[in-house]
Amino acid sequence: MARVSEDEVLLLWRALTAFRSGSRPACKARGKPPRSLCPLHDQCPRWGGPDDYLAVMEETPEQTERRRSAWPCSRVMELLSPDLKRIGPG
């Protein structure tokens, strides 16, 4: 198991946030046939629902949080905290 520092956890969190954010998130499938750089794309309900960039303008913050919490990357981000010292089992 690898040991990680608080700075490394913060960098990972920032990278994941940037990867999934914005009007053209990097995790969205592109090309022909459509492919995503995200290994969680096939299990993500984000792509079967409303466009996130537009939906946040019409939803309450609670609705947005509830919808985004179903995304696999959101669950990964919940695990990332400065208290994280190891990446791996146990």
Q: Contact 45/72 with Cβ under 8 angstroms?
A: no
Q: Residue 35 domain-assigned?
A: no
* pTM to 2 decimal places: 0.74
Q: Residue 54 domain-assigned?
A: yes
pLDDT of the residue at 59:
95
Q: Contact 79/88 with Cβ under 8 angstroms?
A: no
**Total structural domains within the chain:** 1
Give the C-alpha separation, 22 to 25, whole Å. Answer: 5
Task: Profile the chain (90 residues) by mean pLDDT over runs of 10 residues.
Answer: 77 88 89 93 91 92 93 86 66
Q: Residue 89 domain-assigned?
A: no
pLDDT of the residue at 66:
93
Print the domain residue range for 13.
Answer: 2-21+42-84
pLDDT of the residue at 82:
64
pLDDT of the residue at 12:
86
Residues 6+ apart with CB under 8 A from 30: 36
Q: Residue 37 domain-assigned?
A: no
Q: Residue 34 domain-assigned?
A: no
pLDDT of the residue at 14:
87
pLDDT of the residue at 88:
66
pLDDT of the residue at 85:
66
